[in-house]
C-alpha cells in the first residue's frame, strides 16, 4: 500500500496552487509561445511553427520570462480563467489537463523528475519552431499540428 499523499496537481485546483506549484506545471513544450492566426470570419485558430522573439529555440524557454509582458505586450499570461477559455492550448498542456481533471502525461517533468523529458520525448518545439525574426509572413508557416 502506498501511504504517500497524492501529488499537488491531483490534490489542488489551479486556484489553490502556490506560485511555485503553478510554475512547475509548465512542461516547457513552448507550444503556447507559437503564433496563432485566427480566421476573422469563422473564429477558427490556425497554428504556426513561428515562435515569439523571446523564445530561446535551443531550450524552449523564454529568454526574459519576468519581463515578457513588458517586452512583448501581446504575450498572454496564463490564468485560471484564461485556461478555461483557451481552446488553442495544446491538448497536452498541463494547465489544461489539470483544469479538466485529467492526469499529466507520463513524459511530464513532474512525473519523470527530468526537466528535459518533454524535449526528449518529442513534445517540445525545440528543433521545429522558427523565430518570428526569421519567419516572414505567418500565413506561410501554418501547420496542421504542433509536435
For 12-62, write each residue's pLDDT tens digit: 999 999 999 999 999 999 999 999 998 889 988 899 999 999 999 999 999
Q: Is residue 144 assigned to a domain?
A: no
For 74-110, write each residue's pLDDT tens digit: 998 899 999 988 878 889 999 999 999 999 999 999 9
Q: Is residue 145 assigned to a domain?
A: no
Report the pLDDT value the prediction gives residue 69, as an integer from 0 to 100.
93
Q: Is residue 112 assigned to a domain?
A: yes
Neighbours of 82 (CB within 10 A): 12
Q: Is residue 1 assigned to a domain?
A: no
SS (H, E, C) 76-135: CCCCHHHHHHCCCCCCCCHHHHHHCCCCCCCCCHHHHCCCCHHHHCCCCCCCCCEEHHHH
Question: What band does 4 get if pLDDT is binned at 50, 70 and 90?
Answer: low
Residues in a beta bridge with 133: none
Q: Is residue 96 assigned to a domain?
A: yes
Question: What band does 3 get if pLDDT is binned at 50, 70 and 90?
Answer: low
Q: Is residue 9 assigned to a domain?
A: no
Can you tell me the mean pLDDT for 117-131?
95
Q: Is residue 3 assigned to a domain?
A: no
Containing structural domain, residue 105: 18-139
The structural domain count of the chain equals 1
Cell 520570462, residue located: 65
Distances (CA, A) of 76 to 8, 63, 117, 147: 25, 16, 25, 21
Q: Is residue 70 assigned to a domain?
A: yes
Amino acid at each position: 500500500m502506498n501511504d504517500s499523499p497524492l501529488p499537488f496537481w491531483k490534490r489542488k485546483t489551479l486556484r489553490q496552487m502556490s506560485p511555485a506549484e503553478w510554475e512547475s506545471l509548465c512542461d516547457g513544450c513552448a507550444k503556447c509561445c507559437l503564433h496563432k492566426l485566427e480566421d476573422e470570419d469563422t473564429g477558427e485558430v490556425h497554428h504556426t511553427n513561428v515562435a515569439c522573439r523571446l523564445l530561446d529555440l535551443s531550450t524552449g524557454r523564454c529568454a526574459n520570462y519576468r519581463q515578457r509582458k513588458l517586452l512583448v505586450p501581446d504575450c498572454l499570461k496564463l490564468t485560471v480563467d484564461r485556461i478555461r477559455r483557451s481552446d488553442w492550448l495544446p491538448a497536452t498542456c498541463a494547465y489544461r489537463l489539470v483544469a479538466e481533471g485529467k492526469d499529466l502525461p507520463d513524459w511530464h517533468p513532474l512525473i519523470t523528475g527530468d526537466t528535459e523529458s518533454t524535449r526528449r520525448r518529442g513534445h517540445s518545439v525545440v528543433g521545429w519552431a522558427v523565430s518570428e525574426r526569421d519567419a516572414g509572413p505567418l500565413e506561410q508557416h501554418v501547420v496542421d499540428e504542433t509536435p
